[in-house]
Every structure is written in C-alpha cells, then in structure tokens.
Amino acid sequence: MIADLFVKDLILDPSTRNVSDVRHEVKAVASSSSADRAKKFIQDCKVPEGAAAYGSYEELVKDKNVDIVYVATPHSHHYQNTMLCLEAGKHVLCEKAFTTNAPQTKRLIETAKAKNLFLMEAVWTRFFPLSIQIRKFIEDGNLGAVHRVIADNSFGDDVETKYGTTHRMINMDLAGGCLLDLGIYSLTWLFQTLYHTLPPPSRQPPKVISAITPYHLTGADEMTSMILTFPSAPGPAPAGTPDGSTHAAHGIALTNLRVATDPDGHNSARPAIRIQGTKGEIQVDGPAFRPRVWRFIAAKSDEEKGKGKPKVEEHVCDIPGQGMFWEADECARCIRDRKIESDVMGWEESVVIMEVMDEVRRQGGVVYPEKIESLEYPLAL
C-alpha cells in the first residue's frame, strides 16, 4: 500500500535528506473498516506513540490535532474523502489521480478556495531532486527547443492470475485500469517537461489522440497509448518563423498491464523516459515514478556524428527513503507560509491533466459507474 510507504517516509529524520526547516508528525490514522485495523497500521509502520486510531474517516477529521490529511484511498473515493476533509476544515494532500474526472477536481478546488485551505494532488515524482534538476536543465535552455517526449510506465503482469476480476487495478467500481493508476506517471513526465517548464501565460492544453484496449473480464483499460500535441513548448521557435512564434511538441505517454517498461528487473531496456531537444536528449532510467538516474546525450552535427567519443553526462540522484517525504515537505512549507496552492503541482495543471484523461477515456469508450463520477456530496460508495 502506498499509505505505508508514505507514513514510513514521514517519520524519517528530515536531516537524512538535508531538510531542517520542516518536520512531520503522524497524529492519527483512520480505517473505514475498524479502529483495530488503524491500530495495526500504526504498529506495522512503527509510528511513534501518541497517534490516535479511528474506525471511520468522520472521526479522523474531527481530531483537532490534525493539520492536514493524506488521502490514499482508491481513485473512486478521492472526491468523497477529500470533500469530507475540506468540509471539516482540514488541509489535504490527495493521491493521484486526483479524482475520477475533471469536474470533480474543479469542485474540490472551488471548495478549498472558498475555505482558504491547502489542497494538492500527491504527484510525488514532481518533487524529486532529479525532476527539479531536469526541469531546470530545460528551463535554462540546455536542451534547446524541446520537440518530443516519450514516457512509459508499464507492468508486465499475468493479469488474469494476479488481478482476476475484483482487484482495484481492474475493478471499474474503484476506477481501475492502467490509465489512472500507471499512466498518470507517464503523463506527469510529459507535463513537467513540456508544460510546467513554460511561463504560466504560455501554457496551452494539449490536443489528444489515444487508443485503449479494455481488459476482457471487467472493461477496465489494460493498455493505453496517448499522443499529446502541445501547441507551445520550451525553447526557441525554428529559424525564419515570425517573432514571438512558438513551436509545437509531441508527448507520447504509454502504459500497459501486460508488458513491462523494465522486463527483466535489471533496467536492461532503459530508458523509461526520453526528452528530445535540438541540443540533445535527456534519458531517465525507470521506473518513471521513482527514478534515480538521468543522463544528457549532447547532439552532434552531421560532420561530427560517429566520430570521437560520445558526449554523455550521467547524474545519479540518491533517495534516502522511498522519496515520498519531499511532497510532504512541500505541503508543510505551503501551510507554514499560508499558501493554499503549490507552485510545483498547481491546481490548473491538475485540472488540465484530468481533462486529458477524461478525453482519453471518452475516445476509448471507458465509462466508470455513475456514482463514482458524480459531483453529489455526500454520497455513499
């Protein structure tokens, strides 16, 4: 469970990641099934004494010792659970995908604004030092004009044996499928390199062409491929174009349950992400959600190609834990500074990404049950 990894990261000494300005305390844990299950979670994660265990989310949000709630339930429940927290006056860090559709995300943002509460989608990869380095590399012009990004996050599983018909990964009642669970990471790489690296006024939503293969036992997507055309991308426009012109870029996001980005578990098939510009290429070794190594391969002129040594700069970014504490640090700093929105993972970008996934599902004919796409609150699921 991702919640286990998150909590274990929270209780690590911040100095192990060279952080001294914020710290975290786990004040309470809630399980929708029983307080005993919450107690077991606290014990298993070795949470320091003093954390309360609740048998319902309603009890948790009434706890005055809780500043911010981390929502790590299935995608289908994010809207209802996050709205519960916001209505109770709690700041929220909600796992990705933020909700099942863009209208739900917009409603959560409206509520957070109205109540002056911090709200962020938990796209932990955005906060890795590796991601920060790559974004700055692009923003500084070192890659030139970026024209194409290819990102893959796929697991090679025996789907029928591992997931059957009820597992959350393929359960339509839980918004299952590879798009919302795995594809969000592929899209993260497209957006953080082709969209977020632009000044906000220059950012334009991409056009989407996609294909989906449904899982024959439940109808959830088991293979999804997306081509996104970003009207404006980082770097200068081609020579000869009018002043002020921009250039477009293609982002190719892939996700699959049956074939893997890393088929042998040794990263022999690297890289998982390729970011291609006029000055060279950035390659990021997988997994896309927790990468540690990236390299820049400098482009050579036609006369230089094949001659001399290749110009490759490799960077290794160690992760002292799982790596989920960096997004928690962002939340703490925003709340401390009385900010209700993160600059790194802002609301507008979360909405645009959700709109892309809505369009991908529309083109592929994937429709979730009405109750988990509803804007009605409260609604029992």
pLDDT tens per residue, range 326-340: 999 999 999 999 999
Q: Cβ(223)–Cβ(257) under 8 Å?
A: yes
Helix axes 102-115, 75-87, angle to 10 degrees: 20
The average pLDDT across 118-139 equals 98
Identify the helix (H) or strand (E) that includes residue 260.
none
ω into residue 291 within 30 of 0, thus cis? no
Beta strand pairing call for 68-71 and 280-284: unpaired
Q: What was the pLDDT predicted at 275?
A: 99
Structure confidence at residue 122 (pLDDT) = 98
pLDDT digits (tens, 9 = 90+) for 101-126: 999 999 999 999 999 999 999 999 99
| Nearest-angstrom CA–CA distance, 375 and 377 | 6
pLDDT exceeds 90 at position 246: no
> Cα separation of 113 and 130, whole Å?
31
What pLDDT, on a 0 to 100 scale, did the predictor assign at position 66?
98
| Mean pLDDT value of segment 89-106 | 98
pLDDT category at 303 given cuts 50, 70, 90 is confident
* Arithmetic mean of pLDDT, 256-265: 97
Does the structure show a pLDDT above 90 at 147? yes
pLDDT of residue 306: 78
Segment 268-301, tens digit of pLDDT: 999 999 999 999 999 999 999 999 999 999 998 8
Whole-model pTM: value is 0.97
Q: For residues 131 and 127, give the distance between their C-alpha atoms in angstroms, rounded to a whole number.
A: 7
Query: Is the pLDDT confidence value at 241 over 90?
Result: no
Mean of the per-residue pLDDT values of the chain: 97
Q: What is the pLDDT of residues 5-64, one digit of tens each?
A: 999 999 999 999 999 999 999 999 999 999 999 999 999 999 999 999 999 999 999 999
Which residues 6+ apart lie within 8 Å of 313 measured at CB? Answer: 295, 296, 298
Residue 370 — very low, low, confident or very high, per pLDDT cuts 50/70/90? very high
* Residue 153 structure tokens: 């996050």
Q: Which residue from 73, 45, 245, 222 is spatially nearest to 145, judged by alpha carbons?
A: 245
C-alpha–C-alpha distance, residues 15 and 281, integer Å = 34
